[in-house]
Amino acid sequence: MAERTKRKGSFVKQAAILATAGILVRFLGFVYRVPLTNMIGDQGNGIYSAGYYIYTFLLILSSAGLPAAISKMVSERIAVKQFRNAHRVFQGALIISGSLGLVFAILMGVFAQQIANWGNVPESYYCILTLSPTIFIVSVMSAFRGYFQGMNTMVPTAISQIVEQVFNAFFSVYLAYVFLSFGVSAGEKNIPMGAAGGTAGTGIGALAGLLVVIFSYFLIRPTIVHKVRKCHQPFEEGRRDTAKQLLKTAWPIIAGTAVFSITNLIDMNMVTRILENTGFSHLKAVDLYGQLSGKYVTLTTLPVSISTALATAALPSIAASAKLNDYKQVRRKTNLTFRISMIISVPAAVGIGVLGGPIIRMLFPSASDGGALLTVGAVSILFLALCQTATGILQGIGHIKVPVVGAILGAITKVILNYVLIGIPELNVLGAVLSTTACYLVAAVFDVVMLSRLTKTKFDMMGTLFKPMVGATAMGVAALAVYHVIHMIYPSNTVATLLSILFAMAIYGMVMLLIGGITEEDLNSLPMGTKIVGILRRFRMI
């Protein structure tokens, strides 16, 4: 019982650490995307995103599946005290990810112009060029992060993520400001070069993050070496066998993630081409694509990042429980992770939906179009969070091919709906938002149903969905009412939006506590959760 309580506490603590880092990283991401967007506008966002999505796809092929695979394999070996084999997994992963990262970095740099032309945004050439070295840097860093997560130590990963984003935020804005005036007359803007300045900051941030994880590794290396030397394990895995198993574990994760990344690339190509075929100019098509990728995608993925952090933190813990055949703990952690994910995602979807226009005008006063995309597509937050959470758990229990099938089904749905909806002049870019929502819905339903069948988990539908929806509905009505009342009294969009968001958060928390939608276990799973529980107990609210 004591050991189980200890494992439970460790799971909650590590999830909270990574969730906290996720919140800070996303916040810092907004901090720099706001001035960046106001500098380069929707057109610059479209150019920036075109280059970034291509970089993301190649990064996935080189290393994105490795942290989860390393984490799973390392945690399984540590669970049975095979420390030497666990370290062999890390060594093999470092060689594989570094080699793949170097190859894709060279290919991206050499064929930058051809790739930009394929994406129908030739202006993204400089963005692709500046991002190419980043693939190698992040590939090496992913091996270290996966190893730390497999050891159930999220602190190095969390710190490196925060340091990476701080450097990214500063240098992206600074270099965009500097590059905007490159090669043009005074008072004019070189939008493609400004966007490239923003992507150059990504590489500088990644390098800073890599230095942090390397430093962290050498700090704990003496302990690792001591455990490896004292390790008494029944057999020692060969390096070739370890590499094969690593790739075998990683490729379905890479494939599942790559499918969604491919849909982003297809979206980029299809949105601009279909809009041009329906009468929009090339620059207007890039503007609309910039609203889609730079505002809708950026804002709707903010709350999902927290769910992703929880799923990532849950993976080694669930993998260890599955390895020990403790499926009662697997089911408990599955329900807990889904409940926390929905407690965060459902109100986020409602809040962003009802305040989409005001939020866009508050954040991007110099480029205030695109609020309708949030109003229409905010529900995708819910489906993407379900999909990401289910994917993390399925990977943890060894069913890594299931999310691939879900992702393919979602991608097929998206491509078909893109052809049908974007070509409707009245919808134009809204068609891409609707197809994205449908894509995540199909993938989420498939993944969750399969997870339930494989683990025989009976989901707490009341606590996971119904109660958050009740609280979020009350919150949404209150937020909209407060916004209009305050805006009538004091016609400032920023003041009205901020106050309505704060009031909405308070209403949601109160309603959830009144209907029992938030439990002590849920609160303890959140950053600063124990302190929140203490305060609520003092006021007899729980």
Which tops the pLDDT comparison, 317 or 114? 114
Pair (115, 246) in one structural domain = yes
- Give the separation between CA 471 and CA 462, rounded to whole angstroms: 12
Q: Could you tell me the pLDDT band of residue 247, with boundaries at 50, 70 and 90?
A: confident
Residues 333, 322: contact at Cβ < 8 Å? no
Residue 59 has pLDDT above 70, yes or no: yes
Q: Identify the domain boundary among 444, 459, 474.
A: 459
Q: Which of 191-200, 275-284, 344-353, 455-464 has the lowest mean pLDDT?
A: 455-464
**pLDDT value at position 499?**
96
**pLDDT value at position 237?**
66
Domain-located, residue 7 = no
Q: Tell me the C-alpha to C-alpha distance, in Å, between residue 363 and each of 31, 359, 464, 504, 512.
A: 10, 6, 31, 18, 29
Say what percent of the chain tops pLDDT 70: 88
Residue 1 has pLDDT above 60, yes or no: no
Pair (63, 128) in one structural domain = yes
* Averaged pLDDT, 442-462: 89
Which tops the pLDDT comparison, 40 or 460? 40
* Averaged pLDDT, 97-112: 93
Pair (499, 436) in one structural domain = no
Instruction: Locate 110 and state its tokens.
Output: 């050499």
**pLDDT value at position 346?**
94
Q: What is the pLDDT of residues 211-234, one digit of tens each?
A: 999 999 999 888 878 777 877 766
Residues 135, 108: contact at Cβ < 8 Å? yes
Output the average pLDDT for the chain.
85
- Give the separation between CA 131 and CA 127, rounded to whole angstroms: 6
Instruction: Locate 334 and state its tokens.
Output: 């599955």
**By residue range, what is the domain housing residue 422?**
14-459
Q: Could you tell me the pLDDT band of residue 508, with boundaries at 50, 70 and 90?
A: very high
Domain-located, residue 6 = no
Domain-located, residue 8 = no
Domain-located, residue 9 = no
Q: Could you tell me the pLDDT band of residue 106, with boundaries at 50, 70 and 90?
A: very high
**pLDDT value at position 460?**
79
The 3-state DSSP class for residue 427 equals: coil
Q: Which residues have C-beta within 8 Å of that of residue 226, sequence separation ≥ 6?
A: none
Pair (449, 500) in one structural domain = no
Q: Could you tell me the pLDDT band of residue 312, with boundaries at 50, 70 and 90?
A: low
**pLDDT value at position 138?**
93
SS (H, E, C) 162-218: HHHHHHHHHHHHHHHHHHCCCCCCCCCCCHHHHHHHHHHHHHHHHHHHHHHHHHHHH
Pair (66, 118) in one structural domain = yes
Pair (454, 470) in one structural domain = no
Q: Could you tell me the pLDDT band of residue 5, with boundaries at 50, 70 and 90?
A: very low
Residue 40 has pLDDT above 90, yes or no: yes
What is the enclosing helix (H) or strand (E) of 253?
A: helix 239-277
**pLDDT value at position 526?**
58
Q: Which of 61-75, 117-131, 311-325, 506-520 has the lowest mean pLDDT?
A: 311-325
Q: Identify the domain boundary among 439, 459, 479.
A: 459
**pLDDT value at position 518?**
76
**pLDDT value at position 8?**
47
Residue 506 has pLDDT above 80, yes or no: yes
**pLDDT value at position 314?**
60
Give the position of tokens 């490239």.
196
Which tops the pLDDT comparison, 132 or 333? 132
- Give the separation between CA 43 and CA 45, rounded to whole angstroms: 5
The domain total for the chain is 2
User: From the CB of residue 210, how many other CB atoms can be counted at a distance below 10 Å?
Assistant: 22
Domain-located, residue 5 = no
Pair (384, 480) in one structural domain = no
**pLDDT value at position 210?**
95
- Give the separation between CA 282 and CA 138, rounded to whole angstroms: 33
**pLDDT value at position 134?**
95
Which tops the pLDDT comparison, 33 or 132? 132
* Averaged pLDDT, 171-188: 89
For the question of whether the overall pTM of this predicted structure is more than 0.95, the answer is no
Residue 114 has pLDDT above 70, yes or no: yes
Domain-located, residue 37 = yes
Q: Identify the domain boundary among 459, 478, 499.
A: 459
**pLDDT value at position 539?**
58
**pLDDT value at position 527?**
55
**pLDDT value at position 2?**
46
- Give the separation between CA 313 and CA 307, rounded to whole angstroms: 10
Pair (436, 508) in one structural domain = no
Residues 58, 346: contact at Cβ < 8 Å? no
Which tops the pLDDT comparison, 476 or 462? 476
Residue 64 has pLDDT above 60, yes or no: yes
Domain-located, residue 379 = yes
Q: What is the DSSP string of 227-245?
A: HHHH---S----HHHHHHH
Pair (262, 119) in one structural domain = yes
Residue 521 has pLDDT above 70, yes or no: no
Domain-located, residue 4 = no
**pLDDT value at position 9?**
47
Pair (106, 170) in one structural domain = yes
Q: Which residues have C-beta within 8 Å of that of residue 107, sequence separation ≥ 6?
A: 58
**pLDDT value at position 105?**
95
Pair (223, 260) in one structural domain = yes
Residue 152 has pLDDT above 60, yes or no: yes
Length of the chain: 542
Which tops the pLDDT comparison, 262 or 506? 506
Say what percent of the chain tops pLDDT 90: 45
Q: What is the pLDDT of residues 255-311, one digit of tens each?
A: 777 776 777 888 888 899 999 999 899 999 999 999 998 899 888 988 887 666 655
Pair (202, 179) in one structural domain = yes
Q: What is the pLDDT of residues 370-410, one digit of tens each?
A: 899 999 999 999 999 999 888 888 877 778 788 889 988 99
What is the enclosing helix (H) or strand (E) of 352?
A: helix 327-354
Q: Which of 157-161, 177-181, 411-415 has the lowest mean pLDDT?
A: 157-161
403-430 burial, b at 16+ Cβ within 10 Å, e below that, comes to bbbbbbbbbebbbebbeebbeeeeebbb
